[in-house]
Amino acid sequence: MDSSRAHVVLDDADIGRAIRRIAHEIVEKSRGSQSLILLGIPTRGVALAHRIAAAISSIEGTEVPVGSLDITLYRDDLRLRPARALVPTMIPPGGIDDKTVILVDDVLYSGRSVRAALDALNDVGRPAAVQLAVLVDRGHRQLPIRPDYVGKNLPTSLVEQVRVEVAEVDGADQVTILGEGR
């Protein structure tokens, strides 16, 4: 048995469809709201945030501001891993105060990254509401956090790894599972 075999669960077309569906849901849910901001969690969340914004623009014709939010300094697992380089936090002009901020990440797993992002957001300003969009929800939450928009629910075992690749970072779009043979 080849335990490290990679198993493609979403291809580029699937990912495109997922992003368009998330965009539609965001438009529907926030109808009437003029103050949306998409904040990607680096690295791949930022690329996904830009794509969602582009999809919203093609649906609605409106431009949604996009930024990035580095959560490194807020992580609770800093001691457990080698120190990592920081990446810029980019808040769109006008800030986040009284806006609806949608955090965008590639994979939702334990929920700890989102917890860190909420802490980081707290130091940036005071949004009216915060929502969460993820491309893949693989379960195994360790905190009371749930996504508002999900590209694909992907039940996994703990020994498996989910890898999201996006063209902007990795050269191609796909989601694979590595680990115990399926």
The reply to whether omega before 176 is within 30° of 0 (cis) is no
The least distance separating other proteins from the CB of residue 83, rounded to whole angstroms, comes to 3
Task: Kindly write down the DSSP assignment for every residue of 108-157, as one continuous string.
Answer: ESSSHHHHHHHHHHHHH---SEEEEEEEEE----SSS---SEEEEE----
- Using CB under 8 A as the binding rule, whether residue 93 contacts other proteins is answered as no
Nearer to other proteins, 14 or 119 (CB): 119
Nearer to other proteins, 6 or 73 (CB): 73
**CA triplet 52, 123, 87: central angle to 5 degrees?**
55
- Using CB under 8 A as the binding rule, whether residue 73 contacts other proteins is answered as yes
Nearer to other proteins, 124 or 129 (CB): 124
Binding mask 20-59 for other proteins (x = CB under 8 A): ----------------------------------------
Binding mask 109-148 for other proteins (x = CB under 8 A): ----------x---xx------------------------
Return the closest-CA partner of residue 19 out of 177, 131, 166, 172: 166
Say if CB 40 and CB 169 are below 8 A apart. no
Give the three-class secondary structure for 178: strand
- Using CB under 8 A as the binding rule, whether residue 159 contacts other proteins is answered as no
Question: Applying CB under 8 A, which part among 18-26, 50-58, 68-76, 133-141 lies near other proteins?
Answer: 68-76
What separation in angstroms does the CA of 114 have from each of 25, 34, 108, 133? 20, 24, 8, 10
Structure tokens at 123: 């130091």
- Using CB under 8 A as the binding rule, whether residue 79 contacts other proteins is answered as yes
Binding site for other proteins (CB under 8 A): 70, 73-74, 78-89, 119, 123-124
